[in-house]
Amino acid sequence: MDSHLTSDRVDMDDNETTTKFIVNGREYSLKIDNRYTLLDILRDHLRLTGAKKGCDLGECGACTVLLDGKVVNSCQILAARIKDKDIRTVEGLSQSETLHPLQLAFIENDGGQCGYCTPGFIMAAYPLFESEEELSTEEIKLSLAGNLCRCNAYGSIIDSVAYALEIKTNE
């Protein structure tokens, strides 16, 4: 069904490169197939399954992670692009037993229903939390517009992010 994805198979070995990168502060050096995406590397090779495969086409945002601090759809990042990059996933937000304020805010405001989009939304909101600027609700929404929530828990997601930003300001 996915003729745009399948291609004539070539010998895997020709496409493998040893790539160094950092995920959640930990350095990796892996021999990986260049055609693999960051999402596949995270999920299948590193067993970090917080980023989800909702579409594999960059349309839903469930696989959102940070690449050198920038929000990306990890399903659209080919292996070649992660060389020497610093990647952060939802698993890298909490410090041992302590949840990140964004994670706490999502719990406090019931920011997830089925939860499949939740890691993606939290990672998409992360730069907002790090930003020094004061953000309006409209700006929060714009920053999260690339992430779908089919439960449509958008109201609670907006509440969660706004709450986290407010807590930070008041600290």
Tokens for 160, please give them.
């969660």
Whether the CB-CB separation of 67 and 77 falls below 8 Å is answered with: yes
Q: What is the distance between the alpha carbons of residues 119 and 114, in angstroms, rounded to a whole number?
A: 11
Q: Does 28 bind other proteins (CB under 8 A)?
A: no
* Interactions with other proteins, residue window 122-141 (CB under 8 A): 122, 141
Q: Does 26 bind other proteins (CB under 8 A)?
A: no
Using the minimum distance from each CB to other proteins, give the nearer residue, 52 or 85. 52
Q: Does 90 bind other proteins (CB under 8 A)?
A: yes
Q: What is the distance between the alpha carbons of residues 15 and 102, in angstroms, rounded to a whole number?
A: 39
Dihedral, CA of residue 158, residue 164, residue 168 and residue 171, to nearest 10: 120
Partners of 23 in the beta sheet?
Answer: 26, 87
Amino acid present at 105:
A
Using the minimum distance from each CB to other proteins, give the nearer residue, 6 or 132. 6
Query: Which residue has 């399903």 as its token pair?
Result: 75
Whole-number minimum distance, CB 57 to other proteins, in Å? 6
Q: Does 51 bind other proteins (CB under 8 A)?
A: yes
Q: Does 67 bind other proteins (CB under 8 A)?
A: no
Out of 26, 31, 114, 130, the residue judged to bind other proteins by CB under 8 A: 114
Q: Does 45 bind other proteins (CB under 8 A)?
A: no
Whole-number minimum distance, CB 24 to other proteins, in Å? 11
